[in-house]
Structure 1
Amino acid sequence: MKHLKGSCHCGEIEFEFDSATPVPFMRCFCSICRKTSGGGGYSINIMGLTDSLVITKGADKLKSYRAIKDKSKPPAEQTLCQDRFFCPTCASYLWAHSDEYAQWIYPYASAIDTPLKAPPSTTSLMLDSAAEWADPRKQPKRDVLNETFDEYPDYSLEMWHKKHGELA
């Protein structure tokens, strides 16, 4: 069991919990994660024990959003799924919780301040919901589009678009 600490970006909310599964290996591409995470078209959750969750700062500020499972259905037929807890000041998503699995919370790896181990491999799920630009099945393998930089690149977004013939 590993004790983990997390927070939002602005520092208004801090929390901690225990996890037996602290390696962030699963990338969810569902439309809910894609739309609410603000990340790379997916979110990465880890799992924690609900009973161990302690909000050490800002409990009175914490907000939640109960996601709609299938927005393509008429409102009367829509079902709700997990509550997603976030900071209303900086909009950082912190964790998800479902009544169906009440014993667990699913903190966003991006909100964890405790160093997390890099996974030996990753799993992608809900790929049928992935945006085309984020779908790992449609990404180029290893080529010039996958450059890496330790800091900012030495060119602008506009320069990249010009270089690759993608300037609109």
Structure 2
Amino acid sequence: MMQLKGSCHCGAVEFEFDSPAPVPAMRCYCSICRKTSGGGGYTVNIMGMTDSLQVTKGQEMLKSYRAIKNKEAPRDQQVLCQNRYFCTNCASYLWAHCDDYAQWIYPYASAIDTELPVPKATASLMLNSAKEWADPRRAKNVENDMFEEYPTYSLEQWHKDHNELR
């Protein structure tokens, strides 16, 4: 068991919880994670125990979004799944909770401030929902520029240098 602490980007919300599995090893590419995460085309959740969750700062800044699993279904037949909790000030997603697994919360690894263990292996799921640009199965022979900080040139310049500006 490991106690983890997390926060939103602006610092208005802070929380802590106990985790029996603090390894960020699963990337979900479903449309809900892709649309709400804002990064990578996927979300990485870890597991936490619901009964240990404590919001230590900013309870009044929390709001939840109840994600719809199937928007194409008639409204009265749409199955609602996880509540996704976020900061109303900076919109950082913090954790998800699903009534079907009431004993667990699923904090977003990106919101955790405690140093997390490096996974020995990772899994990607819901790949049939992954967009082509983010699908890890398609990332073969991709040129990767890497920077310790921001590059000295703009995003526009990068596109020009890589003949990607249309």
TM-score for the superposition, normalised by structure 2: 0.96
Amino acid at match of 2:147: F
Q: For residue 65 of structure 1, report the CA deviation from its aligned partner.
A: 0.4
User: Of residues 146, 151, 154 in structure 2, which corresponds to 1:153?
Assistant: 151
Amino acid at match of 2:161: K
**Which residues of 2 match residues 20-99 of structure 1 at below 5 A?**
20-99=20-99
Amino acid at match of 2:88: P
| Superposition RMSD in Å | 1.1
In structure 2, distance between residues paired with 1:94 and 1:35? 15
Q: SS of 1:134's equivalent?
A: coil
Q: Which shows bigger deviation, 114-123 or 35-44?
A: 114-123
In structure 1, distance between residues paired with 2:139 and 2:72? 27
In structure 2, distance between residues paired with 1:131 and 1:65? 23
Listed as ranges, the gaps of 5+ residues in structure 2 are none
Amino acid at match of 1:118: V
In structure 2, distance between residues paired with 1:58 and 1:159? 40
% identity of equivalent residues: 69
Q: For residue 81 of structure 1, report the CA deviation from its aligned partner.
A: 0.2
Q: For residue 154 of structure 1, report the CA deviation from its aligned partner.
A: 3.1
In structure 1, distance between residues paired with 2:9 and 2:123? 26
- Which 4+ residue blocks in structure 1 deviate beyond 3 angstroms? none
Aligned residue for 1:114?
Answer: 114
Aligned residue for 2:130?
Answer: 130
Deviations 1:12-51 (A, max 9, x none): 1110000010010100000000011111100000000000
